Amino acid sequence: MFDTLAAFTGSLRRQTTVDESLETGAPAGPRRRFPALKLPRRKSMRSAPPSVPVAPPIKGSGVRVLSWNLLRRIGATCEDVARLIEAQHVDVALLQEATVDMEALPSLIGGAFVRHALPGRIHGPAIWARHGMARPRRVPLESRTIRRHALVAEIGGTAFACVHLSHGQLMCRRQAREASEALATATAVVAGDFNMVGPLKLPGFREVGPREPTHYANGLVPVRIDRCFVRGLVGRHARALDRGRSDHRPIVLDLFAQPHEAAQKFRAAA
C-alpha cells in the first residue's frame, strides 16, 4: 500500500521494483533533491567596527540625534562613537551603558559631555552635545533591583532625557512616564534603551524612532527596544545602523520643530 523509503541522505529514494517498471512502461526518473537551506549567519559579538557610511549634514534648523547602547566595556569604544558621530553629522548623542572611557569623547571631537553611572555599576547614561548643554541632572526612576535614573539636559531650548529602563514590561513603562514628566520645556525628547516590547503611550509625546529591530533578545529574537519619543517636534529620516561591536543597533533620526501654534498649545495646557 505504501512505498518504502530508504534512509534519508539528502534525497528521497523511491524503491521501484522490476515488475512495477515493466507494468508502467516508464523508466525510473532521476533522483529528486531538496533545495539546500540557507540560514543567516550571526555576527560575532566582537566583530570589527563596520565601515560607517558618510551621511549628508542635516538641512534647515533641525537637529540630528543618535541613541546607542554601547554594551559596557566589551562593546563600542570611544573611537567607534566618535567615528559614527562625525560620519553621520550628529548634533546630540544619547548613550547607554557608557563607561568612564567615554569621557574622552570631547578630546576627540569636541563638544560637551556628561555621564552619571548607575549606583554600584561601572556604566550609566551619558549625553554628548556638539554645541554645549545646560542644566544636566539625574532624574531618579522607581526601580526594584538595579537602581536607575534618567539623565536630562537642555540643548538649544529642548530637554533631552537619555534612559536605560528596566526589563519588566510594567516597570519600564512606569519609568518612561516618570522620565517624560520631568521634562518641562515645550519641546522634549526621551530616547534610549527602553527594554520594552509593544506600544507605549506617553501623554503629549509620540514615537518617531525607526520601525525595525534594533536588538536580538538572547541572540535570536529580533526586537525593537531602542526607541525615541518627542513632544513639540517632528521626526524624519529615522534609521537603524549596523551595530558594530555592540549588541544594539544605533538609531539616528532628524528632528525639526513643529509650527509655532503647537508650542503655544502646549504652553496653554501646562
Question: Locate cell 524503491: which residue?
Answer: 15
pLDDT of 6 strictly over 80 = no
Contacts of 40 (CB under 8 A, 6+ apart): none
pLDDT tens-digit series, residues 142-175: 998 899 999 999 999 999 999 999 999 999 999 9
pLDDT of residue 17: 43
- CA–CA separation, 30 and 8 (whole Å): 16
pLDDT of residue 32: 46
pLDDT of residue 263: 52
Would you tell me how many other CB atoms lie within 10 Å of the CB of residue 139? 17
User: If phi over 0 gives left and psi between -120 and 50 gives alpha, with beta otherwise, what is residue 262?
Assistant: alpha
pLDDT tens-digit series, residues 197-238: 999 999 999 999 999 999 999 889 999 999 999 999 999 999
pLDDT tens-digit series, residues 90-148: 999 999 999 999 999 999 999 999 999 999 999 999 999 999 999 999 999 999 889 99
Residue (of 73, 74, 67, 77) closest to 45 by Cα position: 74
Q: Which CATH class is domain 63-269?
A: alpha beta
Instruction: Please give the DSSP secondary-structure letter assigned to residue 5.
Output: B
pTM of the prediction? 0.78
pLDDT tens-digit series, residues 38-64: 444 444 444 445 456 677 887 678 999
pLDDT of 270 strictly over 90 = no
Q: In the chain, where are the structural domains located? A: 63-269
Mean pLDDT, rounded, of the chain: 84
Looking only at Cα atoms, what is the longest distance across the chain?
A: 92
